[in-house]
Amino acid sequence: MCSRRLLLQLIGISISLGLSSSMRVSAQSVGAKLVITPIAKDFYVYTTYNTYKGTRFPANGLYVVTSKGVLIIDTPWDTTQFQVLLDSITIKHQQKAVIVLSTHFHEDRTGGLSFYRAAGIDTYTSVSTDSISTIKKFPRAQYLFTRDTSFVLGAVTMQTFYPGSGHTSDNLVCWFPAQKILYGGCLIKSTKDQTF
């Protein structure tokens, strides 16, 4: 598992990835509902949009293509994009999504859990996320974990890590040790972001 010190060292890498993909997305996204941007071999940031307090905002997720299927981190925000994301992955990579993991309880992370579960995809969240989702009557995952957990799919290993409360009390980050990629989700935001 990565330590808190290593996590802090990697935040700079994650911010750089987020900012560079945000610049590419903003150039492509005028009117788009789903934008997919490669960030490394087999790693893709996908961006969907929704309206928050009258303003259109993007929400980034990540998917990883492996020899055993696709791992999706966080679900699309726009409900019309749940199936579109799956179709895009199938067409682009000739692979099916097999795991969806949500990093915290907000709608732009868990909104599609029921949809993906009904589609036969294994869905995961932490017990903490599930507790909040239950109270708020948000979609819930099929499988829960209580502590930092490793997922192995094909040759890809992903480690979840709870760094403590940040964006939400339940926010997780995901670390891919072989690729040295940190997915910070909503925990890591641009200083220009006005929503936190």
The full length of the chain comes to 196
Q: Are 122 and 99 in contact (CB under 8 A)?
A: yes
Give whole-number Cα distances, 7 to 40, 96, 147, in Å. Answer: 20, 30, 17
DSSP SS3 for 167: coil
On whether residue 32 sits in a domain, the answer given is yes
Count the domains in the chain. 1
The closest alpha carbon to 58, from 74, 79, 39, 34, belongs to 34
Give whole-number Cα distances, 118 to 7, 66, 91, in Å. Answer: 34, 22, 21
Give residue 50's pLDDT band: very low, low, confident or very high (50, 70, 90). Answer: confident
Give residue 166's pLDDT band: very low, low, confident or very high (50, 70, 90). Answer: confident
Domain that holds residue 123: 4-186
What CATH number is associated with residue 124? 3.60.15.10
Name the amino acid, one letter, at 113: L
pTM of the model: 0.82
Q: Does pLDDT of 147 surpass 60?
A: yes
Give residue 156's pLDDT band: very low, low, confident or very high (50, 70, 90). Answer: very high
Give residue 31's pLDDT band: very low, low, confident or very high (50, 70, 90). Answer: low
DSSP state of 186: G
CA-to-CA distance for 65 and 153, rounded, in angstroms?
Answer: 9
On whether residue 79 sits in a domain, the answer given is yes
On whether residue 192 sits in a domain, the answer given is no
Q: Are 117 and 98 in contact (CB under 8 A)?
A: no
On whether residue 195 sits in a domain, the answer given is no
On whether residue 27 sits in a domain, the answer given is yes
On whether residue 143 sits in a domain, the answer given is yes
The predicted pLDDT at position 83 comes to: 96
On whether residue 194 sits in a domain, the answer given is no
On whether residue 152 sits in a domain, the answer given is yes
Give residue 132's pLDDT band: very low, low, confident or very high (50, 70, 90). Answer: very high
pLDDT tens readout for residues 95-125: 999 999 999 998 889 999 999 999 999 999 9
